[in-house]
Amino acid sequence: MSNASKTPSTMETISKERENCPFDLWRMTCAMHGGEEWAKLKGTMMIEIERDPSFRLDDIHDLSKDQIRERTMMKFANMIHYVTTERLDIFTKRMELIGIADPSFWTRFGVHYGLFLGAIRSGATSNQFSYWMEKGVLGMNGLVGCFGMTELNHGSNVAGLETTSTFDEKTDEFVIHTPSLSATKWWIGGAAQTATHCSVFARLIVKGKDYGTKTFIVPLRDPRNFALLPGVNIGDIGKKMGRDGIDNGYIQFTYVRIPRAYMLMKHTQVTRDGQVYEPPLAQLTYGALLQGRTAMVADGANVSKKALTIAVRYGAVRRQFKTGDNELETQLLDYPIHQRRLMPLLAQAIAMGFTALRMTKMFEKLTEELESFDSSSDTEQTERVLETLKETHASSAGLKAFSTWQCLDTIDKCRQTLGGHGYSAYAGLASMYADQAVQCTWEGDNTILSLQAGRSLISAYQDAQKGKKVSTGVAYLDDKSVLTNKCPSDTKCVDLNTMNSAWATISANVVKKAAEVYDTKLKSGVNKDVAMEGCSHERFCAAKIHTMGYLYRQFLDALETLESEEPSGSTTVSTLRTICQLYGAFQIEENAAYFLKYGFYTAKQMDIISEKINQLCAEVRTYAVSLVDSFYYSDHIINSPFGRYDGNVYAAYFNAVRAANPLPPVHPYFDRLIKPLLTRKPLEMEDAASMSIDEEIEEIQQERLSGEGEVDQGDGSLSLTEDQKLETEGTAEWEKKR
């Protein structure tokens, strides 16, 4: 018997969830955003975005690729206003928010300001920089950039790029050329429809000598009418998994000439008479990579929080089945399994969020140091900065990889908790997944980044073995007893400090394991490269465990900082402590094999941990709705009826579906397809009997026997089988090889 009438409305249900919240919502919100200033700013920016008509989001699931691209372009004018007038740290926060509202625009905008302008900033001489600034690059006055790195056959391997830039001494020009199909610049964001210039990565060839890959600014289109310039062939890359708002294209250069000064010459210089000066140091481009990775960790946290806001709010108001003798159907969030599905992900997103805040600060500090840094002077300072940079670079590689993977995983898990409704485009999770997926590939493929992180862990291990001091991120390698530490007692399994030791112990063990396998391979006689490849599985595991432990420590450290800032007895801190505990315990359970293998926990203790996770999930569930409120997203940014603040999910969903799908006045294909199907009569072939073919055959044969004409001696059958196998692409090809 249905209880619809007795059931409280979804709005009443979600209101009830917000009663008795054990923490102060605004203080929690501020903590999640790194301080009240930023939280308030986010509120302001959300209003600005919501009222900007170009940021309309309610119709995006039904726009075609071409419509979404046009919508992207509409956003530029307003955003240029902010980028040219706002303080950099504030604008960075704005972009972070916009990345959540519209990942495609974030990308398109980032291609000009982050990649194209970034290439100029890091690669141009002072005069060159002024030149491009005067050309209008900062305000896009007459100039929109794209970034021409990847080619059809080469992505991550920049050293293998094939496009050439040959110096022509006679005319003082470079000749940019695509020597083959495989060298076609590919995936170039903005190239298809919206860029006038491209920062092209090409091999510098001077007097027949190949100096490797450098950067050249190449004009693509006439800004007055967008006609392609001579020798430039551009095509559209078309549909992608997601982010269709960005117009990726391909570019083929056919002997395109640019002035010599259009090569960015801060590092490598080419003189009028073809002399090439190469730079002494190259490491400093690390900085740009770091910024991208920090942004992606933050984005991973933010996108996870958005997905979880939808899943938790819906889980609170959706009822399904009755449990025991309850009158009402049970709220999904009240099912222990539903808590198990969502609460650990909630804790993980929060851990990622605090880590991103700390990384951003660290990155800002490092940038300051780099800017005040004079490579010609103090070698001790040089070494220190480079050391920090190296370590940060390695840790950030792992963080980028695992944050983007975890985010992708979170989105799909959230989608699945919505049941069938998660499959609706209007739920918003499908497009989030599709948009997010590329984060695992670009700015360094996650697997390759993990291996890099693993490589640097091995090198840190070797340093520690030699007695060299290692950097803070891998301090556990300095501790001799760490390898054999054990959990002190069953009652202390999930203490925050015990778990911290636990991560240190297994991190040290997996790094040691990777280094040992590397050594074994080396001793077997292969070269270093091959030995590194030979221990890649172990490197990968080391990077994974190290990164998980690193995230946990970041969360712990953030708690410590917060504790020093908040009043004593702060409910913000005590709540986050519980969440940190859940996060640590959950990741230990997820990676239980390592903790058992290296003996930090016993089998019995693993059971205690699992049971504790059940309890923590139930506890966090009681304030989960308030917790996602503290993520502080407007309904506009959430853009999903299931994630509405007011819980009015079904009416909003119904209205969204109806508004997006008006019934057409005439059925689009009834007359053409359905009517003929419904009213068809079987083709009558049974009346073939009326031909009496067998009797006729007999007559013909008798005539032939009695007559004198030539008679075909073949077997006369139609070679139907051969006929069926007529060559068609694909199957037939396959058949041939058989």
* 36/425 Cα distance (integer angstroms): 35
CA–centroid distance for 469 within its chain: 34
10 in Cβ contact with 648 (< 8 Å): yes
* Number of other CB atoms surrounding residue 630 within 10 Å: 24
CA angle 557, 562, 566 (to 5 degrees): 160
**584 closest CA partner among 601, 564, 561:** 601
* Least distance CB 560 / a second copy (angstroms): 28
**377/679 with CB nearer a second copy:** 679
Q: What DSSP assignment string belongs to 128-147?
A: HHHHHHHHTTTTTSS--EEE
Rg for the chain, CA atoms, rounded: 32
The DSSP output letter for 494 is: T
* Least distance CB 508 / a second copy (angstroms): 15
Catalytic residue (one of 48, 443, 563, 566): 443
* Least distance CB 414 / a second copy (angstroms): 12
Q: Is residue 368 flagged as an active site residue?
A: no
Tokens 């959430």, residue? Answer: 638
Backbone angles phi and psi of 524, in degrees to 5: -75, -5
69 in Cβ contact with 244 (< 8 Å): yes
* Least distance CB 351 / a second copy (angstroms): 21
* Least distance CB 389 / a second copy (angstroms): 23
Binding residues for FAD: 150, 189
549 in Cβ contact with 501 (< 8 Å): no
* 180/162 Cα distance (integer angstroms): 8
**122/634 with CB nearer a second copy:** 634
* Least distance CB 667 / a second copy (angstroms): 5
* Least distance CB 568 / a second copy (angstroms): 25
Q: What DSSP assignment string belongs to 702-719?
A: HHHHHS-S----S-----
* 24/211 Cα distance (integer angstroms): 60
Pairing between β-strand 164-168 and β-strand 197-206 as defined by DSSP bridges: parallel
Binding residues: 150, 189
CA–centroid distance for 234 within its chain: 26
**552/598 with CB nearer a second copy:** 598
Q: Tokens representing 658?
A: 């109806």
* Least distance CB 139 / a second copy (angstroms): 8
Q: Tokens representing 54?
A: 């170009």
**212/488 with CB nearer a second copy:** 212
**360/485 with CB nearer a second copy:** 485
Beta bridge partners of 148: 200
**Residue 66 carries which side chain, given as an amino acid letter?**
D
Q: Tokens representing 472?
A: 């803070």
**361/597 with CB nearer a second copy:** 597
**694/722 with CB nearer a second copy:** 722
Torsion of CA 668, 669, 675, 680, to 10 degrees: 180
**126/728 with CB nearer a second copy:** 728
- Region for residue 647 given its phi and psi (left: phi exceeds 0; alpha: psi -120 to 50; beta: otherwise): left
Q: Could you give the 3-state DSSP secondary structure of residue 256?
A: strand
* 160/149 Cα distance (integer angstroms): 11
Active site amino acids: 443
